[in-house]
Amino acid sequence: MPEALTPVLIPVERYISADWADREAQRLWPRVWQLACSTDHLVNSGDFYEYVCGRISVIVVRSDDGQLRAFQNVCRHRGNELCSGSGSDLEEIRCSYHRWCWDLKGKLQEIPSRRAFGVLAEDDYSLLSVQVDTWGSLVFINLDLTAQPLHEFLAPVIEETAWLRPDEYATQAVVTIALPCNWKSGIDAFSETYHVQGIHRQMLQSTDDVNGPQKVWGRHGRLNQPYGVASPRLRDGATDKEIWISFCATQGERVGQPAEPGPIPERVDGETIRDLIARLIRIRSESDGLDMSDFSDAQVVDLHQYNCFPNISPVFLIETLAVVRTRPGATPDDCFIDLFFLKRVPPERQRIRPIDVVLDADTADVGAVFNQDIANLQRVQRGLHQPGFTNLTLSPTEEIRICQLHHNLDHYLEVEGETN
């Protein structure tokens, strides 16, 4: 007889405690691969991008030899930050405080009044290097120079997504929103579909939020979610018309329809509503110069979501990619959520620099479904502080990817016996 399932209890302190956040700052963020930006931010020599995660600040640059390099954002003289934001045409990295200067490879070039320092070896004062690598057009960094390579850290996600041809997705925009919740609450919202019945009810007529297969590996997880079919949570199912209206309400742009569409387009003989959606997506993609002939109808229609430890969720559709990233804020009750919006483009099309936008949570409009997630995340943290609430209670099946996050946190933060 199979063993009976039991809930997984997560101590609430992990979401509200300053001591726990300090553990993460010391033992997690300096040791893991993190998504920093995209190669579309760093096309030309002299392009640079500052990535900030809590106390950590890293400069990613395209050096004059065309290579990506990354450095801790600190002057080797007195600790001043060197760069902020992002930009182009950087020819050197010069501290604004006392004018120490490095080249784009991190080699010390100049110290004003150098003789006043006595004997000083240039090689001892290079910028502090950070590992940098790419997956598709996404740029990752790791402050731990001894950490395993990115392709090993992300395994088997890179192999799992090879059929999607990630290199073809170009970043259009990165939207940043400050939220009054812990970074884990933010990424938890994109680690299960159990909440669809709560805050995304308009999706139930066109989304199977129950039977989409989930899988977890050592660090990461996957969900394949079928679209164009009704949720099993609907006792009476849904008609073709209801499926069509629901799909257009949440994904109408995929089939060239407004959120409030007209009648179902004419179908060919034997074509199901799901078949119709696949055909319309193909037609829409062809008009953008994309060839979808290598993909099955299921691959064209469905969502292919991954959770990559610790803090990103790439959400693949065949023609677009949205990457959700959360980062710690100033306190355990604050975080930043970053939404990377990418679009598949023909290989020959020239890439353009993405737009980076900061929006206010109360007025941000990032699409109907994301808007609902943002609104809900503004309410979650206050409840975690109620004195009688001691543990989160997780389903070991529907919320397995959140359980996996905490299993990995136990490992990195060297914790034993806190979850069960």
Return phi, psi of residue 373, to 5°: -65, -45
- Model pTM above 0.85: yes
Q: Residue 279 pLDDT more than 80?
A: yes
Domain range annotation of the chain: 1-31+162-420, 34-153
Pick 34-153's CATH classification: 2.102.10.10, 3.30.450.270, 3.20.20.450, 3.40.50.11260: 2.102.10.10
Contact 239, 206 (CB under 8 A): no
Contact 30, 144 (CB under 8 A): yes
Beta strands in 219-367 (DSSP E): 221-225, 303-307, 312-316, 320-328, 335-344, 355-359
**1-31+162-420 has which CATH code?**
3.90.380.10
Confidence of residue 417 (pLDDT cuts 50, 70, 90): low
The rounded distance, in Å, linking the Cα atoms of 286 and 298 is: 17
* 361 exposure class (CB count in 10 Å sphere: 0-12, 13-18, 19+): middle
Report the chain's mean pLDDT, rounded to a whole number.
95
Q: Are strands 335-344 and 320-328 parallel, antiparallel or unpaired?
A: antiparallel
What percentage of residues in the chain have a pLDDT greater than 70?
A: 98
Return phi, psi of residue 312, to 5°: -130, 150
Q: Residue 1 pLDDT more than 80?
A: no
The rounded distance, in Å, linking the Cα atoms of 286 and 300 is: 13
List Cβ neighbours of 152 (8 Å cut-off, separation of 6 or more).
none
Q: What is the mean pLDDT of the segment spanning 304-320?
A: 98
Q: Are strands 169-179 and 355-359 parallel, antiparallel or unpaired?
A: parallel
Beta strands in 93-196 (DSSP E): 93-94, 101-102, 108-110, 129-135, 138-142, 169-179
When mean pLDDT is compared across 148-162, 263-277, 406-420, the lowest value belongs to: 406-420
Return phi, psi of residue 166, to 5°: -55, -25
Contact 137, 38 (CB under 8 A): yes
